[in-house]
Structure 1
Amino acid sequence: MGMLEEILASGEAWREALDLADRVGLPKGPTLFLGSGSSYFLAQVAAHLARQRGQEALALPSGEAMLFPEGLRGWEQVVGISRSGETTELLQAVRALGLPAWLLTTRDSGPGHHLFAQVVVLSRAEEEAIVQTRSFSSALVYVLRALTGEEGLRGLPGRLAGVLEAPGDFPRGEAYFFLGVGAAWGVAQEAALKLKETALVWAEAFQSLEFRHGPKSLVSEGTVVFLLKSHPMEEPLLEELSGLGARVVVLPGGVLDLPLSLVRIQLFAHRLARERGLDPDRPRHLTYAVRL
């Protein structure tokens, strides 16, 4: 199954994620969230939502925790995120930290599963494609439900059908910027990565209010800015960037809409890759999992 087929098959995996989130959830207390690549961006989403519910939480790249575990002994537990469950940096970080650990993954067995006291398997989100799409969006749905308990998330699989039927299209540009705050900030980083690894275009992500602090100088008439809007203070940024010549695309960035906005960007990344003569199912230099 290729990247496009994985995206189109996301609905059933989202249903499984919602059910598992209600039955298993995520730990409370001071928690260190670890991941690499896309999984690190999801860890950032999780840490933000955990802090919003009053929990002490921090997200770090797995490689950072692997290299410098001595500064992280004060945490009570680790939640590791890895599609394959085999990412070398995550497994070595968990060994080095020696803390009780959870794993959020898509495979029900792996060489490092014994390191984790709790393994949450999103089996219907398991992918064959190298580029993460369905696995990320399903894990995002899991994290959103587990950490917010929002009942409206139950409607996501049904709403997804409408997005897949009419995903819409977005402007083309010389450079693409993705902006967001809070949980949308992590998703903005994942969205930028989709365009980079599939279409090989210049795509960067920034926290919305940070964009004025330097990166704004890069804006021109060839710039497309995606704003995953979730806070009123982002509103003035729209006029400001439009006034500088950017084509601004506003997508809803609230908890109930983030997975749907991400799917629209995933579909755009696939289309853009095809337009550029690239095969999104065979991204340059990449493998399914990173093993050092």
Structure 2
Amino acid sequence: MTSPTEQTIHDQYGYWERAPLPQAAATPDAALAVIGCGTSYNLALSIAAASNAAGIRAVAVPGNEWLRRPQNYVPDWRGATVVALSRSGESTETVAAARRSRDEGLPVVAVTCEAQSSLARLGTSVLYAQTDPAEGIVMTTSASLMLLMGLRHVGATLDVGAAVAAARRLAAAVDGEARALTQDVRHVVYLGAGAAYGVAVEGGLKLQEMSQVFTQAYHPLEYRHGPISLVDTGTLVVMLYGTETPEEEAALVRDVQARGARVLGLGGPGDISLTLGETGATRLLATLPALQLLGERMANARALDTSAPRHLTKIVRIAESA
């Protein structure tokens, strides 16, 4: 029986196709602080990296960090434009950071799936797309929609039609290998470079939320510098290959395989290797549903219900301190 979470993974593509083009676009003279919490921060990592690649300066910052110590991330922070991501538009830290930014006179671009939310009301401009009403605690459609809107905002080249076709193929391929990927796994490592790093972190978060399996995420070559000490036969490594550095990433894959890990290679060699023909932002968006589905299948293997992840709520609200 298909879970509600899995159904939203499969149903998200129509939402991509209907997502409106942004009315606001970042300009080359902007300095962006892309903020969010949890999944939204992971997406911010990819959006900021894609923004820099497109020639617009950007840094990703967790919501509470931007609220409490923005000068640690942007020295002249009062000259920044804040791009704030929140599915609900009600995440306490992000809303508080957006409010402080507006009070300081900074432009705020609200990226959200709730048009009447607190964040949307704070936005100088709003990037809004309706998410699947069936989506529960685990962010699936909303995550891909906010990634899509953020990438468009910073001018990343993105072919939604190609992303939909590639995402369907990749998710189906991962599903076909699900048993081999999830059997006897105790530890999952996600590796991605550049703008793919945020998507790798998000893949790890999804699998950990859904299945309660320990995950880590790193830039690929950082993995040799200590974390590789945890690799054993219970390790699955998910490599999001970069188009610029496939040879050095393939060499790392051989290293972890020699130490007992299984490898899912997305766009390059692995024990299971799946082709990715797309590049850039199109590739980022196309990868996300497959990583979401891998989390669902790991949860299935452990007989866990992904509609009710342990200790999690749909909106994180905390008491604000002065």
TM-score by length of 1: 0.91
Separation in 1, partners of 2:191, 2:221: 9
The one-letter amino acid of 1:12's match is G
> Which of 215, 218, 229 lines up with 1:203 in the alignment?
215
1:112 shift after superposition: 3.6
Aligned to 1:111: 118
> Which of 6, 13, 25 lines up with 2:15 in the alignment?
13
**Residue 229 in structure 1 maps to residue 241 in structure 2:** yes
1:9 shift after superposition: 1.0
Consecutive unaligned residues in structure 2, runs of 5 or more: 268-275
SS at match of 2:317: coil
Separation in 1, partners of 2:27, 2:41: 18
Cα deviation digits, residues 158-208 of structure 1 (max 9, x gap): 334434555322422121100000111001100001111110011111111
SS at match of 2:165: helix
The one-letter amino acid of 1:117's match is T
The one-letter amino acid of 2:162's match is G
Native 8 Å contact 2:109 2:126 kept in 1: yes
Distance 1:261 1:64, change over 3 A: same
SS at match of 1:84: coil
SS at match of 1:79: strand
Native 8 Å contact 1:176 1:226 kept in 2: yes
Native 8 Å contact 1:125 1:135 kept in 2: yes
**Residue 242 in structure 1 maps to residue 244 in structure 2:** no
> Which of 80, 84, 87 lines up with 1:83 in the alignment?
87
1:58 shift after superposition: 0.8
Q: Which region of structure 1 is more displaced relative to structure 2, 171-180 or 133-142?
A: 133-142
The one-letter amino acid of 1:249's match is L
Distance 1:236 1:180, change over 3 A: same
Aligned to 1:278: 304
Identical pairs, percent: 33
Separation in 1, partners of 2:71, 2:131: 37
SS at match of 2:34: strand
SS at match of 2:163: helix
SS at match of 2:257: helix
Native 8 Å contact 1:83 1:126 kept in 2: no
The one-letter amino acid of 1:263's match is P
Separation in 2, partners of 1:153, 1:60: 27
Separation in 2, partners of 1:32, 1:138: 19
The one-letter amino acid of 2:83's match is V
Aligned to 1:120: 127
The one-letter amino acid of 2:45's match is Q
1:258 shift after superposition: 2.5
Aligned to 1:179: 191
Distance 1:282 1:201, change over 3 A: same
Separation in 2, partners of 1:268, 1:291: 28
Native 8 Å contact 2:135 2:141 kept in 1: no
Aligned to 1:219: 231
> Which of 106, 114, 136 lines up with 1:129 in the alignment?
136
Separation in 2, partners of 1:141, 1:116: 18
> Which of 93, 99, 104 lines up with 1:95 in the alignment?
99
Distance 1:134 1:32, change over 3 A: same
The one-letter amino acid of 2:195's match is A
The one-letter amino acid of 2:186's match is E
Separation in 1, partners of 2:171, 2:39: 22
Cα deviation digits, residues 220-265 of structure 1 (max 9, x gap): 1221100000133322111111112111111137423223322112
Consecutive unaligned residues in structure 1, runs of 5 or more: none
The one-letter amino acid of 1:33's match is V
Distance 1:59 1:249, change over 3 A: same
